A and B are shown apart, each in its own frame.
Chain A
């Protein structure tokens, strides 16, 4: 499998981040130049954390807020397993520092639906068997929802033929826009089918 970057995929588990949730408010981070306080609103709930500046948003979510749905596949922006929605936009949370997200609204897979009440995209992934091991799935689902939004917002892609006409939801558009999410199990065909189902149901 070709990678977009010369560095091979890293191990799945990496060193835990270097920080702890605030014991209580009023911890004085100003005295330690290497730590900062940040408020992250995750799935609607604000969390005040004091973190080592090096902590990525992904590590803050997983190691500090214990939201382990978002996965670490490569830690270098190459696989998309860590994809979450920040202020309505999907990003790779492994390539973003938590301290740069003060006041931001973050949605993780845990906020999208629960086992008892799956969101339409989650239901479609189940119905279409859009996964095998499931490791890439939270990132795939975050991207899948964002891709449909981005097409509706008329954001062009590499395969958009006419830049001045409204972008259409086509198989080629979905494939191209999902290219930032790799699936080692190769569930691509079923992922595409799931996204098409949701797009059609919403049309």
Chain B
């Protein structure tokens, strides 16, 4: 691991000011993704700014009837909050389906959204990877590559990887927004829909966050009710990333929302697919995955997603 200087910030303004004056600085929250990548030499920040002292660890009610989740609220605390399990059970279900008890205790709301891909070649520093080393190529698109964990839609020639977060899939279905602060004092509320970016020719940028921009909170709009289910299909029963995951919110009148994990570089949802819900899983997936470019090793994800949604619709009915 490359040596780095270590700084503690005591409020958000101080954290962004520090980041602006230290080129190559990164924020560290739970550390469960950043430190892992630093050990492997995939990330090599010159400075770390510890944000755990910022006091952003509360969940408060908003005037609009929703919840404002401080970025430092742990995944465990968020999943266990009484208001979340009652009004946004999809979020509790998605968080509980991810990682392990130990990891969820440390993982934070902002850190979870910013975790990096689990593409095996991103992790293998001996292989070319445009996301890790822009312009080096994509080992996942060479003949014989392992494509099972990769994406089927929203990918590009430069990068085929998926976003691995479970929590983000629920937040996408719930229309959450990401609140940020920059060093010039500017604040943004970024809809989750436009927070993660598609790779295009620049897969090194996972999100629209600017250098030094701090996530301060995530906002949930007022509860939408309905039956809320999350189903994650993986290679073992627990403690594994999704091959495919499906988030469903189904209203008594048959309308609702669907978002997918494990298939794309971002939580995957389309309004025209939501609109097809009353016509069943096949109709939804036709629209949701229209334009998919499955690879030989991951084409199974399309029927798997369709069948998983069909099972959830049955359960929710």
Cβ contacts under 8 Å, A156 to chain B: 79-80, 85, 92, 96
A163-B237 Cα distance, complex, nearest whole Å: 20
Whether A143 contacts B80 in the complex (CB less than 8 A), given A34-B5, A100-B52, A157-B96, comes out as: no
Cβ contacts under 8 Å, A154 to chain B: 80
Cβ contacts under 8 Å, A164 to chain B: 85-86
**Interface size of A as a range:** 35 or more
B209 touches A (CB below 8 Å): no
Whether A96 contacts B35 in the complex (CB less than 8 A), given A6-B118, A156-B92, comes out as: yes
Q: Is the CB of B96 within 8 A of A2?
A: no
User: Which residue on chain A has the smallest CB distance to residue B80?
Assistant: A155
Q: Is the CB of B3 within 8 A of A34?
A: yes
Cβ contacts under 8 Å, A158 to chain B: 93, 96-97, 238
Chain B positions 53 through 67: 1 when the CB is less than 8 Å from some CB of chain A, otherwise 0: 000000000000000
A-side interface mostly? loop
20 other contacts beyond A6-B149, A97-B31, A179-B100, with CB at 8 A cut-off? A2-B236, A6-B123, A34-B3, A53-B5, A53-B6, A54-B1, A54-B3, A56-B35, A77-B102, A77-B103, A89-B105, A90-B105, A92-B103, A95-B106, A97-B35, A143-B102, A155-B79, A157-B101, A180-B100, A180-B239
Binding site for A on B (CB under 8 A): 1, 3-6, 28, 31-32, 35-36, 39-40, 48, 50, 52, 76, 79-80, 85-86, 89, 92-93, 96-97, 99-103, 105-106, 118-120, 123-124, 149, 235-241
Enumerate 6 A-B pairs (CB-CB under 8 Å) in ascending A order. A53-B3, A92-B102, A97-B48, A100-B28, A146-B101, A164-B85
Binding site for B on A (CB under 8 A): 2-7, 33-34, 36, 52-54, 56, 75-77, 80, 83, 89-92, 95-97, 99-100, 143, 146-147, 150, 153-158, 160, 163-164, 175-177, 179-181
